[in-house]
Amino acid sequence: MIILSPFGPKLGKIKIPSKIITKLNEEVDKIIESKSKTKRSDYSKKVVGQVYQEIQISKNFINKYLKKFIAKQVSNYLKKTINVKPKKFLIKNLWVVRQFKNEYNPVHYHDGYVSAVGYLKVPKNLTKSKKKLKTNGTIDFINGTKTYLNNSIHNHKPKTGDMIIFPNNLMHTAYPFNVDGERRSFSFNLDLDVKTKKILNGW
C-alpha cells in the first residue's frame, strides 16, 4: 500500500488482485443479464451519481469474496495513517457504478467512517480531451481551500485494479469522459469500533 498525503486527510492506494476483479465483474455481468436481478439490485436512488446504473452487491457475495480482502486493506491503511488497528468493522454497503460517456458523479461525501473506490474496467483513452488539463474520467479528492504551498485537490487517473481508501467525509467527484466504453468501479463504506472512531474524529 502507498500512503498519499496531498493535504490533511491521507489516502491509501493499492492494487486489487486480479481474481477479485474477475469475480466482481462476473457478478455484475450476471446481475445485468437478468431484468429481475437488475431491478432487485438497483442502488441508483440511494446515491448521487448521474450515471447509467448503480448496483448493490449482496451481503452473501461480500462475505464470501470481499470481506477478508477489505478487512486486511483497511486495517493496513489505519495502521499506516493513525497507527491504530481496528478491533472490528462493519461493511455498511458496497455497490458498483457503471459510468458511460458524458455521465458523472457530482461532488459528494460518504457515510460510515472509512470509504474506498476501486476500478474494475476503464475505457481506452479515458482522459482524451482537447484541453491541456486532462481531467476527463478522472476523480478529484477535495479538502479545504488552496493556500500558499498547500494543495486542496488531489486528482487521480483511474487504471483497472486501482483502489483508493479515504476518510468517508473527504469530498470527491468523478468527471465525465467523451470516449466509448464503460468505466466500472465499486465503492464501500465501513463502520468501526468506538475507540477507532474517536481517533478518526480527531482527523
- Whichever domain contains 177, its CATH number is 2.60.120.620
Could you read off the pLDDT of 111-148 as tens digits, one per residue? 889 999 999 999 998 888 777 667 899 999 999 877 76
Domain boundaries, position 125 = 2-200
pLDDT at 199 over 60: yes
Closest CA to 119 of 93, 101, 137: 137
197 vs 168: CA distance, rounded Å: 12
The pLDDT score that the predictor gives to residue 38 is 82
Could you read off the pLDDT of 69-99 as tens digits, one per residue? 999 999 999 999 989 888 888 999 999 999 9
Could you read off the pLDDT of 22-31 as tens digits, one per residue? 999 999 999 9
- Mean pLDDT of the 33-37 span: 87
For residue 11, the cross-strand partners are 4
Alpha-helical runs (H) found in the chain: 18-32, 35-40, 59-61, 67-82, 194-200
For residue 184, the cross-strand partners are 98, 121
Alpha carbons within 13 angstroms on the beta-carbon side of residue 82 total: 22
Could you read off the pLDDT of 148-170 as tens digits, one per residue? 667 889 999 999 999 999 999 99
Percent of the chain predicted with pLDDT > 90: 61
pLDDT at 203 over 60: no
Q: Tell me the pTM.
A: 0.90
- The number of distinct structural domains making up the chain is 1
The pLDDT score that the predictor gives to residue 200 is 74
Contact 203, 81 (CB under 8 A): no
Contact 124, 181 (CB under 8 A): yes
